[in-house]
Structure formats: C-alpha cells, structure tokens
Amino acid sequence: MFTNTSPMLAYTNARIFTGNELLDGFAVTTVDGKVDSIVRIADLPAGISMIDLGGHFLAPAFIDIQIYGGNGKLFSEDLTPAAIAACYDYCRAGGAVQFYITLATNSMEVFMKGIDAVRAYWEQGGRGLGGLHLEGPYLNPAKKGAHLEQFIKMPTVQEVKQLLHYGKGIIKIITIAPEQCDDAVIQLLLDSGILVSAGHSDATYAQAIHAFDRGIPAATHLYNAMSSLQHRAPGVVGAVFNHPTVRSSIVPDGIHVDFAAVKIAKKIMGERLFFITDAVTPTASGAYPHVFKGDRYTMPDGTLSGSALTMMKGVENLVTKAGIEMGEALRMASLYPAQVTRTDSTYGKIAKGYAASFVVFNDEFEVVETIFE
C-alpha cells in the first residue's frame, strides 16, 4: 500500500471515477491526506511529485460494513487487535480501506472482549476500522441462519443501556429483528447514534414498515434470513422494496442471492441498495467453525455461514453477472455504504476535501493498488 510522505502529490495516467463520472486526461492532487483538486494533466503545477498509475482505473476506495475476519483470523475466535489487522489486510487487498468488524450472536462476555479489542486496535494506531458491527443477539430464532440459538434473546432496556455504555464510540452498527424489540429499545438505539439494521427477522410486512417508519434506516443482507416476498405476505423483503428511504445491503456472490434477484432488487431500489462481503475465514474451533467449500463457507452441518468475497470481486460480479453499470457498481461499494454509515462527507467520492483513499484496478477487475494516505 502506498503511503504519502510528501506535501503534495498528483496521481496521473489513470481513468478517474470520481463517484459521479469517469474522467480521462485528468489528475488527482492531494495534500495532507486529502484530495485537493481534480485537474487536467496540462494544468498541474510545475515541480509537483507525480505517481503514474499505468492507465488503470482510479476510484474511491471501498467500504465493507459487514465482515467477520480475513487471512485466517476470525474475529470472534481471536478477539485481538492482531485479528482486526489481519482483516484490514484482507479488506485492503480487495480494494476496501474502511471496514466494520462484525460479531455474530454470542455471549455478552464475547461482545465485551470484542469492544476491548477494537479500543486497543485504535489505541495502537490501527487503520481503516470504522467500528464494531454486532449482528445479534436480538434476532428471531425462526430466521437464525448460522447464528447460535442459545445466545439469541429478547432485549431489555437495561441490558441495551449497559452494552451501549461499555461500547460507547465503538459499537456503530447493530442488526436486530425489529419484531423482537419493543419501540423503547429501538428508540434507545437510534437516540444513541447506532446504525440500526433490520435482519434475521420474520417480521410481517406491517411490522417491518412500522420499524422503518420509526427510524430504522437499513436492512441486513437482503433476501437472506428474512421473511420473503409472497403475494399474500410481502414480508421484510416487500417492506424493503416498498419503503421510500430504507437502504439494504446484499451479498453479491451468486450463492447467497441469485444474480437475477440482485438485478430485480436493483431495479426496484436503485441507490438504496449497496453491498457487503459478509466474509468469514476458515476456523475449526469455537462457537462458529466455518468450513470452506470452494466458493463459500458453511457450518459443519452445511448451513451457509458466510462468503469468500472481496469487495472488488463483488463489483466485478455486479457488472459481469447482474448487468449493473460499472459506475453504479462502484457506488454500491463506496458512496452508498458511506451514506448509510454517515461518513459520506469524508469517504465515497474523489472530490476536494475528501480523504485520499483510492482503489486502483485494471480492466479485469483486479486490484493493482490500494491507496490510503
């Protein structure tokens, strides 16, 4: 990964996707880790340090808001800054420089240790980590998927307050089944600045719409582990489709969701649909042993438990298998995750004042370099 040590740099000889448009014949200049300008090559100031990107694409670096581990380190089994660093390296190799390390439904003790590990990672200068995503434990057992039922529970205001107090500034996202949580709990989460996402839910259409109208802004891995769209029972999927503002993640590996279903969702939702990897890594021990099956991960009993995606592979799949235009696929990996996490004033675009965080990739959707000044 390139690290900037000079006062001003110009990235040249690249096809620049700004988040809005594709530019040829331009350069991106940066100062102090931020984008300063996008200018024509001929207008670059004399003597500026230049980095030739070899004619490849330059785009905003990606953001993965749900990933469990990488490079052989599953966070729930190795609750350490080293495991988070391994996940960061995995993300960076796939074009992402921002990620939200995720813990599945587990004991409160594991959640507390995860909070401690995130805090230590930041204190040690660890990069790229936006915060902690708790997927559970307030889920619906009927849609538990690979989550362990013995840890699934109904929330109390007191327990949620304790969790939020201990994880203040660290817990950024919580996936809940809204029908398992009363309005007071949901309001507490929202008032605490948590990104609340509806998932692992068997809610009716009416229950899901009520939750979204109450302020839940997102849903977790569309179609998977949620009540499906039926013509007499539209379920959570129907509520996500019909609600005017709710966003949703999706896992574009062709296994969690057929690419035809991705295409349908995109036509309906437009800019409200973004994607995650939901990636795990092999482990044979602990509460969540993940077995690699060539193109996916399962629990030992065969239950689908996570993907083997990178963010770059997700972009490629969306373009080549779901027929989504490349610029829009890139926004689904960068701008839209930044918007849902409320970091879109810093990430998701190449524009003046934004972080100098870029992915460089070639025509075959291979990451050439990830830049995070």
Quick one: which H or E segment has residue 242? helix 235-242
Cα–Cα distance, 32 to 310 (Å, whole number): 29
- Mode of pairing for the β-strands spanning 218-219 and 367-372: unpaired
Check 202, 253, 278, 344 and give the catalytic one: 278
Sign of CA dihedral 6, 10, 13, 19: positive
Which residues are paired to 358 by β-bridges?
60, 371
Give yes or no: 301 in active site.
Answer: no
Cα–Cα distance, 81 to 132 (Å, whole number): 13
The string of DSSP codes covering 292-360 is E-SSEEE-TTS-EEEE---HHHHHHHHHHTS---HHHHHHHHTHHHHHHTT-TTTSSS-STTSB-EEEE
Residue with tokens 């587990």: 106
Residues classed as catalytic: 278
